[in-house]
Structure 1
Amino acid sequence: MFFDDERSNRLRPEILTQLVGQYLNDAERARYLGLPDTTRIRERAKIINPERLILGEHCWIGEDAVLDASGGLTIGEHTSVGVGTLVFTHSSWLANMMLENHSGSDLIERTPVVIGKGCFLGGHAVIMPGVTIGDFATVQPNSVVAKDVPDRCLVAGNPARVFQRYDEDYVESEAERVRAKNARLP
């Protein structure tokens, strides 16, 4: 029933980790995966090559997010990765074109991704290999980020482009607005 080859034996612990993770709450799942204690990781989120992931404190990873850390992935503190978001650090396009798309192909290209601190990646965003997203950036839902994103800006679209830049005064005024609104809630 089970294959007894190198690849199967390497993948089986990852499969078991995913299975066990379904029965844990967000904090338990984070601890089980060796993530910082302040991390909240929702069910069905997947980390490929977790040993290549550097994750800051107070991060949130949504349901069905896939974090491919095979090429190296760094995510800064207080960053949220939305539901169904895909972060890629590898590409097999050349292996496909050369008819060499097999496990261990030397045509699979791996390139690190860096996501800054205080970022918000909206649901179903796609982050391509080699991208750096600056600190305090917002990626709108369903955006495809194929090039670097500067600090303190909002990007959206496919391909994502800058729509707004945030200065500290703007962020402070928005924080005051939201706190005042929340204070009025029952």
Structure 2
Amino acid sequence: MFSDDERSNRLRPLILTELVAQYLNDTERARFYGLPETTRIRERAKIISPDRLVLGEHCWIGEGAVLDASGGLTIGEHTSIGVNTLVFTHSSWLANMMLENHPGSDLIERKPVRIGKGCFVGGLSVLLPGVTVGDFVVVQPNSVVARDVPDRCLVAGNPARVFSHHDEDHIRAEAARVRASG
């Protein structure tokens, strides 16, 4: 029933890790994955190549998010990754076109992704290999980030584009408004 080859033997512990993680709460799951204690990582979130993930303090990873860190992934402190968001750091498109899409193919391209501190990446968004998302960025839900995003802006769409910039005074004013209404 079980294959006894190098790839199967390498993947089996990862599969079991994901299975066990489903029975833990957010804090236990973060500890289990070796993430910062302040991380909240929800059910069904998946981390590919967790050894290549650098995660800041006080991050939230939503249900069903897939973080592909195989090409290197850095996420800054106080950043939230929305439900069912996909972050890719590799692509096999060329391996597919050359009919060489097999484990270890030298045509699988890997590029690091960096998401800054204080970011909110809305659910169902996709970040493509090689992009850098600046600090204090809002990525609206259902966006596809295919290019670098500067600091302190809101992006949306497919492909995502900048819709507005926000300075520190604007953020402080919004925080005061929300606190006053609550």
TM-score by length of 2: 1.00
Alpha-carbon distance, 1:76 to partner: 0.2
How many residues align? The count is 182
Q: 1:68 — aligned with what? A: 68
Write the letter of the residue equivalent to 2:141: P
In the alignment, what sits opposite 2:102? 102
Unaligned runs of 5+ in 1: none
- Could you tell me which residue of structure 1 aligns to residue 4 of structure 2? 4
For 1:162, the equivalent position in structure 2 comes to: 162
- Amino acid in structure 1 at the alignment position of 2:93: W
Q: 1:47 maps to which residue?
A: 47
RMSD: 0.3
State the distance in 2 between where 1:3 and 1:181 align: 59
- Once superposed, which parts of structure 1, at least 4 consecutive aligned residues long, lie more than 3 Å away? none
Cα shift readout 1:68-118 (whole Å, capped 9, x = no counterpart): 000000000000000000000000000000000001100000000000000
Is it true that 1:144 corresponds to 2:144 in the alignment? yes
The AA in structure 2 aligned to 1:112 is P
Q: What displacement does 1:174 show?
A: 0.2
Give TM-score, length-normalised by structure 1. Answer: 0.97
Distance (whole Å) between structure 1 residues aligned to residue 41 and residue 121 of structure 2: 14
Secondary structure at the residue paired with 2:34? coil
SS of the residue 1:129 aligns to: coil
Q: Take 2:168 and 2:38, find their aligned partners in 1: how far apart are those partners?
A: 26
C-alpha distance in 1 between matches for 2:179 and 2:6:
54
Structure 2 Cα separation of the partners of residues 181 and 96 of structure 1: 53
CA distance in 1, matches of 2:83, 2:73: 18
Q: Secondary structure at the match of 2:63?
A: coil
- Give the match's secondary structure for 1:180: helix
Q: Which residue pairs with 2:13 in the alignment?
A: 13
Instruction: Give ranges in structure 2 of 5+ residues lacking alignment.
Output: none
Measure the CA separation in 2 of the matches of 1:6 and 1:154.
45
